[in-house]
Structure 1
Amino acid sequence: MENTYGARRAAQHFGLAWLAGIALAVAAVVMSVTQDLPIREPDGVLPSYVTFPGVLLLTILIDVVPRVVHRASRSRAWSRPGLRGVFREVMAERWPASHWWFALTGLAAWYLSYAAFRNVKSMAPFVNEHLFDDDLESFDKFLFAGHEPAAVLHAWLGEGVAAHLLSGVYILWIGLVPVSIAIALVWTRHTNAGAWYVTAVALDWCFGAAIYVMVPTLGPIYSDPGTFAGLPHTYVSDLQETLWTDRVAVMADPRGADTLQTIAAFASLHVGIMITICLIAQLIGLPRWIRTCSWVFLVLTILSTVYLGWHFAADVLGGLAMGSFSVWVAGLATGNRSGWRVRLRSLTEEEALASGGHPGALVSRSAPLPDHPAAD
């Protein structure tokens, strides 16, 4: 009964995320057939179908191990049979079948969206060869009274320490996405909130892929490299060079390149997913320090993408609009919004029972802190 209920609830939670992933997968297959392009695993060194479950498993261990240690220390059950019993007890509380269904279904839906997105993005230049960089540059100069926004930031922030700091921000964002997905699937016991976030990110991939096909761009660092010639060498510099090398190889021989091209500027998915994180954190009422850090990191992300030449200012505006729209649509699909009003659904009594009889303090807790059972 619990397995049936958990599977049914997981399907309801991630229905739109699966639709987004399937739509992207169909688009990738159609583009592959019509353009005679290969479909590839998106991450070459260590495949994402290994890294993402690995991140999920690590997060589960972080969720479980502190609780096992805490309970074992309180009951002094340090023998092997005692630890085994405590571990089984914690796993029964934290990881009943219903939550396994939730986490694995959400991860699979998100991975399908991600892998298909990366392939569609790689194929976009073959489907639409026109580049819109000149148009976006003109729009940027209109917004900044004839100036390029990157040049303005270089003048304001300098071209030394700021480049290294903002390079660190950009690289940190890369790890933020899989970690945030793992948190939404593992640590939260408010499954409606977790499903809202995962679905919103899947929609970010879906909308982003569609825009990349309709409005292909390179970004300022590639269309106007002279503006960034004064910046010091950073890890981002190496990354930008690697991505350009990959693009040249793919455009020259898409089947022989054995990689994907990942250059596309409009709209900024860095900004889109960060505004998604900020809005979800705000709407579900996460602690103030998390909300504040999210908004600060959004500002730093915007600065880094423009300063380092990844994006035009127009890309930032597109990313903000796309991420906000994804949150709204995902909220409607997961039952957490009614029109423009938030109505984050609480766990029903039936859901709580199907979660293995979680104590109330565990049902709502999202931080992986050791439990303090009333019986202790």
Structure 2
Amino acid sequence: MLRWPYTFAVCLSLTVGAAAIYYSQTLDVGLKDPEGFLGPAYIRLPMIGLLIFAAGIVPQSIHRYGMRRFVPGMRTIVRDEWTLKRVGYVASGMLSFYICYVSYRNLKSYLPLLREDSLHDRQLLELDHLLFFGNNPAEVLHGVFGTSIMAQVLAVLYVLYLPIVPITVGAVLVLHRDFTVGAWYATAVSLNWVLGTVSYYALPTLGPAFYQPQSFYDLPENGASALQMSLFKGAFGFKENPQGENIFGIAGFASLHVSVVFTACLFLHYAGINRLVRSVAWTYLGFTILATLYLGWHYVADDVGGLLIGWLAVLIGAFVTGNTKRQKRKRLAEHDVPAVEPATRVVTTGPSI
């Protein structure tokens, strides 16, 4: 079990899941499925996996067997490459990811019940003003980029994060042939939820748009502002009736948007994924950091904390799934793999720990 790449992820999900259940019982607040409007998880998760599976296997079959024989070609690929072991690995990754995510959302929702009197927005806002020479970062960015087109662009990119996360996890799990690499990414993203929850309780904040909303009145209505209003209504409803259907979803430090996207960037880099994909990911990270400040989701310290969480998640994820350089060298040596070019490439990927 210690050499199974999902041992850590499964243990992590069981631990954080148990914590969510414990506080749910202690506070007498029922556990909620944060994305329940998309249907129950036992339908939603398999559907994501199946859609990505189809998106990967159909073009693969067409490439190998041509348009006339791609249907029987799909059956051949499934028979030859999709063993029960591979299916089990994919299921383990998605289930661990989902348990950590749902637990994170519920534990985040308990913040006002456990840490309501400990907000640190004023201190982080003062730090922002210090870093920007007495100015509010959001107002500086509004002056530089304007408050019309850029607001809409950044809002779309920011909200795009919501479907990107489960899709990228599913894509790596389903499409990558190295099971340990899929375990690495699923574990790293799951760690983001757990480390993010710890950061929320260590330094509770609301974020600029909720603490000082007047700084963002000049922005037009956009997808991000609609999401902020939805979170505000949900938070108000939760405070009125914690046992109701609402979930509290407001927390500033650290930025999980930044941490998860940074995790994806580092993972793509170390895993040696296509250079174009890596470039797009790094560009998206830049826009995400800009959006957090411009739209008022986070303070500068939140983004720095997010970068730290993302780095730790990738580092720990690589170690516990056997994807560091040292572990790969050892594994190749144990199997007496010749030092040919493909093997060399595998050895040289992964963090240097």
**What's the CA shift string for 1:340-369, capped at 9, x where partnerless?**
x7848888999xxxxxxxxx9xxx9xxxxx
Amino acid at match of 1:278: C
Aligned with 1:53 (options 43, 46, 50): 46
Whole-Å separation in 1 of the counterparts to 2:193 and 2:170: 17
Q: Is the 8 A contact 1:131 1:216 kept in 2?
A: yes
Structure 1 unaligned spans of 5+: 1-7, 351-359, 365-376
Structure 2 unaligned spans of 5+: 336-341, 347-353
Aligned with 2:27 (options 25, 35, 54): 35
Whole-Å separation in 2 of the counterparts to 1:333 and 1:148: 41
Is 1:105 equivalent to 2:83 in the alignment? no
Is 1:12 equivalent to 2:4 in the alignment? yes
Give the structure 2 partner of residue 62 of structure 1. Answer: 55
**TM-score (norm: length of structure 2):** 0.89
**What's the CA shift string for 1:266-322, capped at 9, x where partnerless?**
000000001101111111111211111111110000001111011111100000011
Secondary structure of 2:4's counterpart equals helix
Please state how far the C-alpha of 1:19 moved relative to its aligned partner: 2.1
Q: Is the 8 A contact 2:97 2:190 kept in 1?
A: yes
Whole-Å separation in 2 of the counterparts to 1:23 and 1:294: 31
Secondary structure of 2:210's counterpart equals helix
Q: Is the 8 A contact 2:238 2:248 kept in 1?
A: yes
Q: Is the 8 A contact 2:93 2:182 kept in 1?
A: no
Q: Is the 8 A contact 1:110 1:198 kept in 2?
A: yes
Is 1:309 equivalent to 2:309 in the alignment? no
Whole-Å separation in 2 of the counterparts to 1:247 and 1:222: 11
Give the structure 1 partner of residue 179 of structure 2. Answer: 191
CA distance 1:344–1:164, shift in 2 (3 Å): farther
**What's the CA shift string for 1:179-204, capped at 9, x where partnerless?**
11011110111222221111011110
CA distance 1:311–1:344, shift in 2 (3 Å): farther
Larger displacement relative to structure 2 (46-55 or 26-35): 46-55
Please state how far the C-alpha of 1:141 moved relative to its aligned partner: 1.5
Q: Is the 8 A contact 1:268 1:319 kept in 2?
A: yes
Q: Is the 8 A contact 2:258 2:306 kept in 1?
A: yes
Amino acid at match of 1:110: F
Secondary structure of 1:45's counterpart equals helix
Q: Is the 8 A contact 1:41 1:47 kept in 2?
A: no
**What's the CA shift string for 1:66-98, capped at 9, x where partnerless?**
233344437x448xxxx4x43321112331222
**What's the CA shift string for 1:105-152, capped at 9, x where partnerless?**
111111111111111011122111121111111121122222111111
What is the percentage of aligned positions where both structures have the same residue? 34
Q: Which has the higher contact order (CA 8 A, sep 6+)?
A: 1
Give the structure 2 partner of residue 23 of structure 1. Answer: 15
Give the structure 2 partner of residue 86 of structure 1. Answer: 73
Aligned with 2:278 (options 288, 291, 295): 291
Is 1:176 equivalent to 2:169 in the alignment? no
Q: Is the 8 A contact 1:160 1:232 kept in 2?
A: yes
Number of aligned residues: 335
What RMSD, in angstroms, separates the aligned Cα atoms of the two structures?
A: 2.3
Aligned with 2:128 (options 129, 140, 153): 140
Amino acid at match of 2:297: W
**What's the CA shift string for 1:7-29, capped at 9, x where partnerless?**
x69x8111121122122112212
Give the structure 1 partner of residue 198 of structure 2. Answer: 210
Secondary structure of 2:32's counterpart equals coil
**TM-score (norm: length of structure 1):** 0.83
